């Protein structure tokens, strides 16, 4: 045990000894991917080694999470943990890892909303109330796009339908990119989409933002109400991003990663870039982030049970 402890301490002192891989378990260009790539240059500089992204999308983020859970606990492979991580724990009957026990929380680094958007050429509604009225007039006949069964987009949409008392038809895609392509092309008229994916199209008039999912309005879309403000009482869904390491990663390495991430997030230029991408730079230390993940795990478990959402 003494030899093992000495080895771990020595390892922590020389960390990182090679490039650090951040596994994003979701598709490129989405809510988790864009801010993570903004973080990379500064985090690489702070750690003194290259930090790079590897996208491993699929199965609601479980493929990438499993790869990290099975990696060496030495801080050189990290998971970009996000809302889908805790959602998948309730949607899948069996997982090859434990969503809570097999990961060491490192730091929360961002949070933000999804935007409820419509293609105005396909569905000419101007408010959430008009969308609800249209859906009640045509139960199950208005399609909405998501990045896949069990994705955060799927669940925030299912929660909206439940609280609004409507039935929308779920059209799952293999990632947020294809979903956005068909939304813009008019193949599907509605989606709860990540701000980075829609803000330019909203400002250009190609899409119409009806609401944002958070408790407060988004600074870059100040005229767009929250879903709760727009008439669906009790609705709130925050999308978050953080770093997690495999369980068993030495505390010294976890604390170093947290400290460097916290410093990087103080950069005003990065904070502004995050805001434009739909994310608020928000930091939590490993203990706070661990408590937050457990609370989110319980919350989305209730949502899955209440909505009856399933993975087909």
Q: What is the pTM of this model?
A: 0.83
Asked if the structure places residue 57 within a domain, the reply is yes
Asked if the structure places residue 30 within a domain, the reply is yes
Asked if the structure places residue 217 within a domain, the reply is no
User: For the segment 177-191, what is each residue's pLDDT rounded down to a tens digit?
Assistant: 899 999 999 999 999
pLDDT at 85: 93
User: For the segment 71-85, what is each residue's pLDDT rounded down to a tens digit?
Assistant: 999 999 999 999 989
Asked if the structure places residue 96 within a domain, the reply is yes
**Band of the pLDDT at 28, cuts 50, 70, 90?**
confident
- CA dihedral over 229, 126, 34, 69, signed as positive or negative: positive
One domain for residues 101 and 118: no
One domain for residues 57 and 118: no
Tell me the C-alpha distance between 65 and 97, whole Å. Answer: 8
* Run of H or E including 192: strand 190-194
User: For the segment 99-152, what is each residue's pLDDT rounded down to a tens digit?
Assistant: 999 999 999 999 999 999 999 999 999 999 999 999 999 999 999 999 887 778
Give the mean pLDDT of the chain.
92
The proportion of the chain whose per-residue pLDDT surpasses 70, expressed as a percent, equals 96
Q: Is the pLDDT of residue 311 over 80?
A: no
One domain for residues 107 and 252: yes
Tell me the C-alpha distance between 202 and 210, whole Å. Answer: 10
**Domain boundaries, position 130:** 114-212
One domain for residues 248 and 106: yes
Mean pLDDT of 304-312: 77
Total domain count for the chain? 2
One domain for residues 91 and 133: no
Asked if the structure places residue 285 within a domain, the reply is yes
Asked if the structure places residue 184 within a domain, the reply is yes
Contacts 24+ apart (CB under 8 A), 101-104: 101/247, 102/69, 102/246, 102/247, 103/65, 103/68, 103/69, 103/79, 103/244, 103/245, 103/246, 103/247, 104/73, 104/244, 104/245, 104/246, 104/247, 104/248, 104/249, 104/254, 104/286
């Amino acid at each position: 045990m003494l030899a093992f402890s000495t080895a771990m301490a020595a390892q922590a002192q020389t960390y990182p000894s090679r490039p650090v891989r951040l596994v994003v378990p979701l598709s490129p260009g989405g809510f988790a991917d864009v801010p993570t790539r903004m973080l990379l240059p500064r985090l690489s500089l702070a750690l003194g080694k290259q930090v790079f992204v590897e996208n491993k999308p699929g199965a609601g983020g479980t493929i990438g999470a499993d790869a990290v859970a099975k990696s060496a606990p030495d801080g050189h492979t990290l998971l970009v943990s996000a809302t889908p991580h805790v959602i998948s724990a309730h949607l899948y009957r069996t997982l090859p890892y434990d969503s809570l026990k097999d990961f060491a929380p490192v730091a929360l680094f961002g949070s933000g909303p999804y935007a409820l958007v419509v293609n105005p050429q396909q569905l000419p509604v101007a408010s959430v109330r008009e969308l609800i009225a249209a859906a009640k007039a045509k139960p199950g006949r208005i399609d909405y796009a998501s990045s896949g069964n069990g994705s955060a987009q799927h669940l925030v949409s299912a929660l909206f339908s439940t609280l609004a008392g409507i039935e929308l038809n779920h059209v799952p895609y293999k990632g947020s990119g294809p979903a956005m392509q068909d939304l813009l092309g008019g193949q599907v008229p509605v989606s709860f989409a990540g701000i980075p994916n829609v803000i330019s199209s909203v400002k250009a008039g190609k899409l119409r933002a009806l609401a944002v999912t958070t408790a407060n309005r988004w600074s870059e879309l100040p005229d767009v109400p929250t879903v709760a403000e727009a008439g669906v009482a009790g609705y709130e869904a925050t999308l978050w991003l953080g770093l997690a390491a495999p369980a068993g990663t030495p505390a010294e390495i976890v604390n170093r990663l947290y400290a460097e991430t916290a410093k990087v997030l103080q950069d005003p230029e990065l904070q502004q870039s995050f805001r434009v991408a739909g994310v608020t730079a928000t930091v939590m230390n490993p203990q706070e982030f661990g408590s937050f993940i457990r609370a989110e795990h319980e919350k989305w478990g209730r949502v899955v049970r209440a909505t009856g959402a399933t993975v087909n």
